[in-house]
Amino acid sequence: MSETKINKKVVQENLKSMSIVDDGDEVAQDYQYVVDLEKKGIAQTNQEAQRRVDLLIHASNENFAAASTCLGQWHLIGHYVPKDIESAILFFKHAEKLGDALAMVELAYIGLKGLSSTISNEQGLDYLKKSVDLNHPEAIYASALHILENNPEAALNLLMHNYQQNQHENSLKTCIEHSAFDQNVVNQKLEEIAQHDSYASALLAFQYFQQGNDKKAFHYAQKSQEQNNPYGCYVRALMEEKNPKSDPDVVHEFLIKAAQLGHIDASYWAAAQNLRKADEMKEGAKQQELKQQAFKFFEYAALNHYIPAQYSYAQCLRTGIGTEKNFEHGVQWLERAAQNNNADAQFELAMLIAVEHPQHLALLQAAANNRHVQAMLCMAVHEQQKEQFGQALQWLDLAKDADSAWAYYLLAQMYGNGQGVEADPKQRVVLLTQAAERGDVDAYFELYQAYSQGLGIRKNKKNAVKYLDLAKQNQHIEACAIELYG
Report domain extents, the chain.
1-134, 371-485
> Which band of pLDDT confidence, cut at 50, 70 and 90, is reported for residue 135?
very high
Tell me, what's the pLDDT at 482?
A: 87
Any idea which of 18-32, 182-196, 357-371, 413-427 has the lowest mean pLDDT?
A: 18-32
32-47 mean pLDDT = 87
Q: What is the mean pLDDT of residues 133-151?
A: 93
Q: What mean pLDDT do residues 429-444 have?
A: 97
Per-residue pLDDT at 16 exceeds 50:
no
pLDDT band at 455 (very low <50, low <70, confident <90, very high): very high
- Residue 45: its pLDDT value, please? 84
**pLDDT value at 13 more than 80:** no
User: Taking 60 as the threshold, does the pLDDT of residue 10 lie above it?
Assistant: no
pLDDT digits (tens, 9 = 90+) for 43-81: 878 899 999 999 999 999 999 999 999 999 999 999 999
Q: What is the pLDDT of residue 44?
A: 78
Average pLDDT on 226-244 reads 96
> Taking 90 as the threshold, does the pLDDT of residue 40 lie above it?
no
Q: Among positive and negative, which fits the CA dihedral 71, 73, 76, 79?
A: negative
Mean pLDDT throughout 359-375? Answer: 97
Is the pLDDT assigned to residue 12 strictly greater than 60? no
Architecture of domain 371-485: Alpha Horseshoe (1.25)
The pLDDT of residue 282? 86
Q: Kindly report the CA angle at 132 between 187 and 172, in degrees rounded to 5? A: 15
Confidence of residue 17 (pLDDT cuts 50, 70, 90): very low
pLDDT of residue 483: 61
Does residue 11 have a pLDDT over 60?
no
Percent of the chain scored above 90 by pLDDT?
Answer: 88
Residues 213 and 200: their CA atoms lie apart, in Å, by 17
> Looking at domain 1-134, what is its CATH homologous superfamily?
Tetratricopeptide repeat domain (1.25.40.10)
Predicted confidence at residue 319, as pLDDT, reads 96
> Tell me, what's the pLDDT at 4?
34
Q: What is the mean pLDDT of the chain?
A: 92
Average pLDDT over residues 193-213: 94
Question: Among 41-50, 209-218, 241-250, which is the least confidently predicted range?
Answer: 41-50
Q: Do domains 1-134 and 371-485 have the same CATH topology?
A: yes
pLDDT score for 20: 38
Summarize pLDDT for 81-93 with one digit per residue, the tens. Answer: 999 999 999 999 9
Q: What is the pLDDT of residue 68?
A: 97
Residue 353 has, within 13 A of its CA and on its CB side, a CA count of 19
Please, which pLDDT band fits residue 485 given cuts at 50, 70 and 90?
Answer: low
Q: Does pLDDT of 370 surpass 60?
A: yes
Residue of higher predicted confidence among 440 and 13: 440
pLDDT per position as a tens digit, 291-340:
999 999 999 999 998 999 999 999 999 999 999 999 999 999 999 999 99
Return the percentage of the chain with pLDDT > 70, whole number: 94
Q: For residue 21, is pLDDT > 80?
A: no
Reported as half-sphere exposure (CB side, CA atoms, 13 A), residue 436 has a value of 23
